[in-house]
Structures are given as structure tokens and as C-alpha cells.
């Protein structure tokens, strides 16, 4: 079943007709099936984050359409879109995006709180998720009192709390050391494999990308190539490096 389907997405910053306008995306089309774990890679400025923002409804395309679970989000109003994001989508960002004034447990619960779910339902769900990601011990702590890795695991937990159709992740390991990054990526894999959750992740980190099942490489606002994982992560990692070398610009990241 197709969870996400985007057709001919273009995004032009600075107006269509102006000379100094920037074409961030040039007619990208992408389909993501239920249970997929897709990575988007590409050099800096290739349009990765723009693509993620358009697919997840944070930003609107200049032209083209996005459908998630058969619903077109391109035609939704502001409030409708906000509700859709809250109920159907999950997000994980590089800067964790946790609220300092709330405890970890409350942060995780927040999408359900905004959705006015029943107390027992919220508490059961949060308990279950805290256990899944092994972060029960920090449930009552504030974000600024725990490590970056723990914060990102809490953010992953929050992205899952509303049983989203798809989780979007933007450089989730960008701010983390390699050990924390590994722990966070294991969370993503568990969420994808054990819970059947569909994930779309933007990253420039080849190690993080090796946890994906499919990688889409983009360059200059267009899809350049795609590779599929065959189960062996080490082998997949090497192929990703090769593709990056072909793509250029990312060799120094190794």
C-alpha cells in the first residue's frame, strides 16, 4: 500500500519570475510504500530538507502534489494541515525539538494532549513507548538535564506516540556522537521493523543511512539515483559511500 506519493514537486524560492530566484526542487516524484525505511541523501544545497518540508506539509510546493494515505495535503488549509500533522505524521529533528518547560514524559505525550485524548489512553501509550526505547528512567527529567542521545530518543518516542502513517526525520544524528547516533538509529530500526512504521529520513551521514532499506540520492533538486539494501548493512554502507563518491561533494564526510 502506498503511504506517500509525490508528483512533480517543484519549489522556487524568491518568486517565479525574478532573476535571482532559486530552484530548490525541479519536479521530483517519489512513492513510499507501507513499512519502508527510506533515506534521502545528497550534497549540501541539493534540496534534501526542502523535499522533506514539502512532503511533511511544513512548507508548500510551488507546483506538484503530495498525497499521504490517499489524502492530498497540498490542498489543505492551515488548520486542517496542522491537525493532519498532529494525528497522522511524526517528526524527528536534528535539534530534538523538545520543550524545555515540560518533562520528557509530557513532551512525548504532547501530540496526544493537543488531541485531547483520554488520560488513561495517554498514560498507557507513553508507558509502553518509554519501555520500548528504554528511557523510563528519564521520564520525569527536563530536556536540559539529559544527554543529546537521550533527548533524541525521547523525540523519536514522541514521533511515534500518535501511531503516525509515516515518520519524517531530518538529520536525526546530526548533533550526536557516534555512540548516541547508533542508539538512536537502533530505535529507528526497531520502530520500522518491529512496529511496521514507515520512515523517511534525510541525512548526510552514511552510517545512519545504512540502517535504511532504500536510499534516494538527489542532486540539484532532482533525483539522481536510488539504491536498495539487501539485508547486509556493511555491504549497503559501502555501496552508499560509492554512490556518494559518484555524486560528489560528500567524500570528505567519511
Partner 1 sequence: MTFRDIAIRNFKAHARRYLSFFLCSCLTVMVFFMFSTVYLNDGIEKSLKSNTRDVLNASIIAILFFSVLFLSYAYTAFARSRKREFGLYMLLGMNSGAIRRLLLMENTIIAFASLLAGLITGSVLARLFFMTVVNLLKLGDIRYQFNILTYGTTVGVFLAEFLIILLLSDIIAGRAEIIDTFKSGRTAEKDWLRHPLFGVAGLCILTYSLLLKYLYTVGLVEVREMSSVFVVLCFTGLYLIVSQFGNVLEALVKKSKAMYYRNLPGISGVKHKIFRIKTVLFLIAMFSAITVYFIGTALSTLIQADETAESEQPFHLAFVEKGSAGGIPDKELEQILNSGDMKPAEQKNIEFLETEMASGLDYKFKIAALCEKSFNILYDRRLKIEEGRYIMVCPPEMSMSEGSHLDFEECILSAGSQTFHLKLDNRITERDLNKVKYLSEILLVISNSDYERMKTASDPSRIGRLHLINYEDWHRTSEISAELETRLKQADGSSMRDMYEYGHFPVLGSRVATYRQIRSEGSLMLFLTLFLGALFFVASASIIYFKLFSEIDEEREKYRKYFLIGILEKEYGKYVTGELLVLFFLPLVIGAAIALAYGCIDLKFSPFRFESMAYLALVTLAYLAFQAVFYLAAKQKYINDVIGV
Q: Supply the minimum distance, in Å, between the C-beta of residue 84 and partner 1.
A: 8
Task: Identify which of residues 113 and 139 has a Cβ nearer to partner 1 in the complex.
Answer: 113
Task: Identify which of residues 104 and 240 has a Cβ nearer to partner 1 in the complex.
Answer: 104
Interface residue list for partner 1 (CB under 8 A): 58, 78-79, 82-87, 89, 91, 93, 97-102, 106, 109-111, 113-114, 116, 118-119, 122, 142, 144, 158
Q: Supply the minimum distance, in Å, between the C-beta of residue 169 and partner 1.
A: 12
CA distance 122 to 130: 12
C-alpha cell at 209: 543511512
Q: Supply the minimum distance, in Å, between the C-beta of residue 142 and partner 1.
A: 7
C-alpha cell at 98: 523538545
Task: Identify which of residues 99 and 195 has a Cβ nearer to partner 1 in the complex.
Answer: 99
Q: Report which of 98, 99, 87 is spatially closest to residue 161, judged by C-alpha positions.
A: 87
Q: Report which of 133, 137, 138 is spatially closest to residue 197, judged by C-alpha positions.
A: 133
Q: Supply the minimum distance, in Å, between the C-beta of residue 106 and partner 1.
A: 6
3-state secondary structure at position 67: strand
Q: Is 229 in contact with 192 (CB distance < 8 Å)?
A: no
Q: Is 129 in contact with 121 (CB distance < 8 Å)?
A: no
State how beta strands 71-72 and 63-68 pair.
antiparallel
Burial of residue 116 (number of CB atoms within 10 Å: 0-12, 13-18, 19+): exposed
Task: Identify which of residues 144 and 248 has a Cβ nearer to partner 1 in the complex.
Answer: 144
Q: Is 175 in contact with 94 (CB distance < 8 Å)?
A: yes
H or E segment at 140? none
Q: Supply the minimum distance, in Å, between the C-beta of residue 52 and partner 1.
A: 12
Q: Supply the minimum distance, in Å, between the C-beta of residue 95 and partner 1.
A: 9
Amino acid at each position: 500500500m502506498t503511504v506517500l506519493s509525490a508528483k512533480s514537486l517543484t519549489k522556487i524560492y524568491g518568486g517565479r519570475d525574478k532573476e535571482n530566484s532559486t530552484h530548490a526542487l525541479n519536479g521530483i516524484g517519489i512513492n513510499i510504500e507501507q513499512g519502508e525505511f527510506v533515506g534521502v541523501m545528497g550534497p549540501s544545497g541539493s534540496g534534501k530538507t526542502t523535499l522533506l518540508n514539502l512532503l511533511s506539509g511544513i512548507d508548500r510546493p510551488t507546483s506538484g502534489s503530495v498525497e499521504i494515505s490517499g489524502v492530498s495535503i497540498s490542498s489543505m488549509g492551515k488548520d486542517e494541515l496542522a491537525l493532519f500533522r498532529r494525528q497522522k505524521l511524526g517528526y524527528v529533528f536534528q535539534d530534538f525539538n523538545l520543550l524545555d518547560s515540560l518533562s520528557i514524559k509530557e513532551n512525548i505525550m504532547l501530540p496526544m494532549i493537543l488531541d485531547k485524548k483520554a488520560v488513561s489512553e495517554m498514560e498507557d501509550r507513553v508507558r509502553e513507548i518509554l519501555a520500548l526505547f528504554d528511557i523510563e528512567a528519564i521520564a520525569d527529567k527536563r530536556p536540559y538535564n539529559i544527554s543529546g542521545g537521550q533527548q533524541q530518543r525521547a523525540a523519536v518516542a514522541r514521533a511515534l506516540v500518535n501511531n503516525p502513517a509515516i515518520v519524517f526525520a531530518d538529520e536525526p544524528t546530526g548533533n550526536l556522537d557516534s555512540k548516541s547516533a547508533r542508539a538512536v538509529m537502533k530505535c529507528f530500526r526497531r520502530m520500522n521493523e518491529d512496529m511496521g512504521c514507515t520512515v523517511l529520513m534525510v541525512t548526510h551521514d552514511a552510517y545512519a543511512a545504512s540502517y535504511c532499506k532504500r536510499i534516494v540520492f538527489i542532486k540539484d533538486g532532482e533525483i539522481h539515483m536510488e539504491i536498495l539494501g539487501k539485508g547486509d548493512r556493511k555491504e549497503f554502507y559501502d555501496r552508499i559511500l560509492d554512490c556518494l563518491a559518484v555524486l560528489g561533494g560528500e567524500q570528505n564526510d567519511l
